[in-house]
């Protein structure tokens, strides 16, 4: 027997410290207005030095649990989508599980960078469909301030934060209608963190050459995102016999206004239906979708029965699409 799946509740957390474009421009050769007009970013949040990815995940998870009126003991599975784990081992999900006081549920991480939440949502949905679990807590959490070279222009793109969602069986109107995941490993070098893994273990060489910070080919990110996502959106809509005009809300990953506006143009989905918060938080990688979702949900902008499109593209390349009836 299979079960329909819905999002029961959402939650989020962002650090207090705000870093503006103007402050970054004091140390990096960039223009604050260009950043805003091109990327849509004005500010980003920066976690405290002793504030970890699992700490931010904890606060987002607690908010989602409170909004669902659930106790952690009721959760059947915990997944954390992150590319900035607390440690290489154990998983950040296991650390989060310990902080939440949960001991009898599977917990693991998913590393798909900016596509992480959609990948996690697909895994959870499949397990609920199969009857293996009844619900799950998904958290997208990132601390990109620790893997950013603040002397480089790439420092303008990212921020820290966490978003969470609880998924469960659905017997009513609300359900996930379709989900599709994709990957193309030929593009792996276009966004990567060279140091810290088995290829380049931590060493003086890694630190002195900032190999522990991310490298990004911005043009490749733009070209890939604006190519693969419109095609994936069309395939997903065709699979459930829907049209672009049926979409009420788009909850996208937050790469830049430029990427998202090109996707809107190619898919004929009005830009007004795209929900963004990169103006305040920049790109929070695996946390973007659950952060935007919680913000939109908290403002009660999504009504019961609305059709919601989620899209993301990330390092790897990885990308994915989900369409839900709220």
Tell me, yes or no, whether 151 and 270 share the same domain.
no
Tell me, yes or no, whether 260 and 228 share the same domain.
yes
pLDDT at 96: 98
Q: How confident is the model at residue 3 (pLDDT cuts 50, 70, 90)?
A: low
Tell me, yes or no, whether 80 and 216 share the same domain.
no
CA–CA distance, 66 with 137 (Å, rounded to integer): 12
Domain that includes residue 215, residue range: 177-325
Tell me, yes or no, whether 190 and 92 share the same domain.
no
10-55 pLDDT, tens digit each: 999 999 999 999 999 999 989 999 999 999 999 999 999 999 999 9
Residues taking part in catalysis: 114, 253, 283
Tell me, yes or no, whether 243 and 257 share the same domain.
yes
Tell me, yes or no, whether 272 and 212 share the same domain.
yes
**Domain final residue pick, 106, 139, 171:** 171
Tell me, yes or no, whether 166 and 182 share the same domain.
no
Tell me, yes or no, whether 137 and 193 share the same domain.
no
CA distances for 230 relative to 1, 34, 235, 319, angstroms: 33, 26, 9, 11
Query: Which CATH number belongs to the domain containing residue 305 in this structure?
Result: 3.40.47.10
In this prediction the pTM is 0.95
CA–CA distance, 320 with 235 (Å, rounded to integer): 11
Tell me, yes or no, whether 125 and 252 share the same domain.
no
CA–CA distance, 276 with 293 (Å, rounded to integer): 10
pLDDT at 2: 53
**Domain final residue pick, 171, 193, 223:** 171
211-265 pLDDT, tens digit each: 999 999 989 999 999 999 999 999 999 999 999 999 999 999 999 999 999 999 9
**Domain final residue pick, 130, 146, 171:** 171
> What's the number of domains the chain is made of?
2
């Amino acid at each position: 027997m299979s079960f329909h799946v819905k999002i029961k509740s959402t939650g989020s957390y962002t650090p207090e410290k705000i870093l503006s474009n103007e402050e970054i421009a004091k140390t990096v050769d960039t223009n604050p207005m260009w950043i805003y007009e091109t990327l849509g970013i004005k500010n980003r949040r920066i976690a405290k030095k002793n504030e970890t990815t699992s700490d931010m995940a904890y606060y987002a998870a607690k908010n989602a649990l409170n909004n669902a009126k659930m106790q952690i003991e009721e959760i059947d599975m915990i997944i954390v989508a992150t590319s900035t784990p607390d440690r290489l081992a154990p998983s950040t999900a296991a650390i989060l599980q310990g902080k939440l006081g949960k001991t009898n549920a599977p917990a693991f991480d998913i590393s798909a960078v900016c596509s992480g939440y959609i990948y996690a949502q697909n895994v959870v949905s499949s397990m609920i469909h199969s009857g293996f679990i009844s619900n799950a807590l998904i958290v997208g959490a990132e601390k990109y301030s620790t893997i950013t070279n603040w002397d480089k222009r790439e420092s303008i793109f990212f921020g820290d934060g966490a978003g969470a969602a609880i998924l469960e069986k659905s017997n009513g109107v609300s359900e996930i209608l379709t989900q599709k995941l994709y990957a193309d490993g030929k593009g792996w070098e276009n966004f990567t963190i060279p140091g810290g893994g088995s290829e380049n273990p931590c060493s003086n060489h890694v630190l002195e050459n900032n190999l522990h910070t991310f490298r990004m080919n911005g043009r490749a990110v733009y070209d890939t995102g604006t190519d693969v996502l419109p095609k994936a959106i069309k395939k997903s809509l065709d699979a459930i016999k829907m049209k672009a005009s049926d979409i009420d809300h788009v909850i996208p990953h937050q790469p830049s206004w430029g990427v998202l506006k090109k996707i809107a143009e190619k898919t004929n989905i009005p830009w007004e239906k795209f929900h963004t918060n990169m103006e305040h938080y920049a790109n929070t990688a695996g946390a973007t979708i659950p952060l935007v979702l919680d913000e939109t949900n908290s403002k009660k902008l999504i009504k019961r029965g609305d059709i919601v499109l989620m899209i993301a593209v990330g390092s790897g390349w990885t990308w994915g699409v989900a369409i839900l009836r709220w």
